[in-house]
Amino acid sequence: MAPSKANPHREIERKFLLKRLPTDLTSYPHAEIDQGYLAVEESGLQVRLRKKGEALSLTFKRGKSNEREEREIRLSAEQFDALWPATERRRLSKVRYDVPWREWTVEVDIYSGRHEGMIVAEVEFTDEESCADFIAPDWFGADVTGDARYSNVLMALS
């Protein structure tokens, strides 16, 4: 998460489809991610478990716009393993590539399992101004920020 300048617990991001993958994608840092949801409310509240490589975390998110409250804590393997079964039928898997582009890191997510073939890119910003002023690289496609079809939580529930 790139915290906003005004609030360190704010996530400001945009999500895009891709016209094509960046050159030499596999040369960039990447990790397999398994995530599952413990709680999801229509208000936009989410409680998520994530295993990213060896890192285990629990994340609380609240809000529905491109700017949301986000708080994350690291978990031990024992804590993660105790909670993970509660996410059954609310999970997804993907590989995330961290691609540097200008002053940002583009997170390219390639999904597997029942979402095989889905590829999106996310960019996180420190403030609303840089979010609004962002000019995407030519390999980006449509901006799908806020489009429920590309929401991780809704994909995990489908």
**Of 28, 37, 111, 150, which residue is the catalytic one?**
37
Q: Is 97 one of the annotated active-site residues of the chain?
A: no
HSE-CB of 84 using CA atoms within 13 angstroms: 14
Euclidean distance between CA atoms 142 and 130, whole angstroms: 18
Query: What value does the CA radius of gyration of the chain take, rounded to a whole number of Å?
Result: 15
Lookup result for tokens 């929401």: 151
Residue 33's CB: how many other CB atoms inside 10 A?
19
Inter-residue contact 1 to 70 (CB < 8 Å) = yes
The size of the chain, in residues, is 158
**Helix ranges, 8-89 (H):** 77-83
Annotated catalytic residues are 37
